[in-house]
Amino acid sequence: MNLFQLVWSYLRARPLTTALNIFLLALGISVITVLLLFTNQVQEKVSSNAKGIDLVVGAKGSPLQLILCSIFHLDFPTGNIKLSDAEKIVRHRLVKKAIPLALGDSYGGYRIVGTTPEYPALYGAALETGAWWEKDLEVTLGAVAADRTGLRVGDTFTSAHGLTGDGHGHELSQYVVVGILQRSQKVIDNLLFTGIESVWRVHEIGEADSITLLHPSTLVSTREAGDSTLEITSLLVQYRNPLAILQLPRYVNNVGNLQAASPAFETARLFSILGVGVDVLRGFALVLILISAVSIFIALYNSLKERKYDLAIMRSMGAGRRMLFLSMIMEGAVLTLLGSVAGLLMGHSALYAFTFLAGDSASGLDPLAFYPAEAVLLGANLMLGICCSLLPGIQAYRTDIHRVLAGN
Partner 1 sequence: MIRVSGQAYQYPGSRRIAFQDFDIGAGAHGLLLGDSGSGKTTLLHLVGGLLRAQQGTIEVQGTDLAKLSESRLDDFRGKHVGFVFQKNHLITALSVEKNLLVAPFFAGLPPDLVRVEEILRSLGIEEQRHARIRELSHGQAQRVAIARALINRPGVILADEPTSALDDRNCEKVIRLLIDASEKQGATLLVATHDQRLKKIIPHQIQL
- Minimum distance from residue 322 beta carbon to partner 1 (Å): 8
- Minimum distance from residue 323 beta carbon to partner 1 (Å): 7
- Minimum distance from residue 30 beta carbon to partner 1 (Å): 29
304-308 CB contacts, 8 Å cutoff, 24+ apart: 304/392, 304/395, 304/396, 307/10, 307/396, 308/399, 308/404
Identity of the residue, 81 or 333, whose beta carbon is nearer to partner 1 in the bound complex: 333
Q: What are phi and psi of 58, to 5 degrees?
A: -150, -165
Of the candidate residues 51, 96, 152, 402, the single one contacting partner 1 (CB under 8 A): 402
- Minimum distance from residue 16 beta carbon to partner 1 (Å): 14
The piece of 176-184, 279-287, 317-325, 386-394 that touches partner 1 (CB under 8 A) is: 317-325
- Does the protein bind partner 1 through residue 331 (CB under 8 A)? no
The piece of 9-17, 255-263, 268-276, 388-396 that touches partner 1 (CB under 8 A) is: 9-17
Do 83 and 219 touch, CB atoms closer than 8 A?
yes
| CB-based contacts of 333, cutoff 8 Å, min separation 6 | 382, 385, 386, 389
168-174 CB contacts, 8 Å cutoff, 24+ apart: 170/105, 170/202, 170/203, 172/202, 172/204, 173/137, 173/201, 173/202, 174/137
- Does the protein bind partner 1 through residue 15 (CB under 8 A)? no
The piece of 4-12, 91-99, 115-123, 139-147 that touches partner 1 (CB under 8 A) is: 4-12
Number of residues that bind partner 1 (CB under 8 A): 25
- Minimum distance from residue 285 beta carbon to partner 1 (Å): 32
The piece of 27-35, 49-57, 345-353, 400-408 that touches partner 1 (CB under 8 A) is: 400-408
Distance CA 87, CA 187 (A): 26
- Minimum distance from residue 405 beta carbon to partner 1 (Å): 6
- Minimum distance from residue 45 beta carbon to partner 1 (Å): 50
Of the candidate residues 16, 317, 357, 368, the single one contacting partner 1 (CB under 8 A): 317
- Minimum distance from residue 388 beta carbon to partner 1 (Å): 20
Do 278 and 39 touch, CB atoms closer than 8 A?
yes
Of the candidate residues 226, 320, 359, 379, the single one contacting partner 1 (CB under 8 A): 320
Taking CA atoms, 241 is separated from 245, 246, 261, 265, in Å, by: 8, 10, 17, 18
- Does the protein bind partner 1 through residue 323 (CB under 8 A)? yes
- Minimum distance from residue 375 beta carbon to partner 1 (Å): 32
CA nearest neighbour of 342 among 381, 313, 306: 381
Identity of the residue, 152 or 322, whose beta carbon is nearer to partner 1 in the bound complex: 322
- Minimum distance from residue 20 beta carbon to partner 1 (Å): 18
Residues in 277-316 that interact with partner 1 by CB under 8 A: 309-310, 312-316
Residues in 123-162 that interact with partner 1 by CB under 8 A: none
Identity of the residue, 255 or 326, whose beta carbon is nearer to partner 1 in the bound complex: 326
Of the candidate residues 15, 242, 318, 372, the single one contacting partner 1 (CB under 8 A): 318
- Does the protein bind partner 1 through residue 1 (CB under 8 A)? yes
- Minimum distance from residue 347 beta carbon to partner 1 (Å): 32
- Does the protein bind partner 1 through residue 9 (CB under 8 A)? yes
Interface residues with partner 1 (CB under 8 A)?
1-2, 5-6, 9-10, 12-13, 309-310, 312-321, 323, 401-402, 405-406
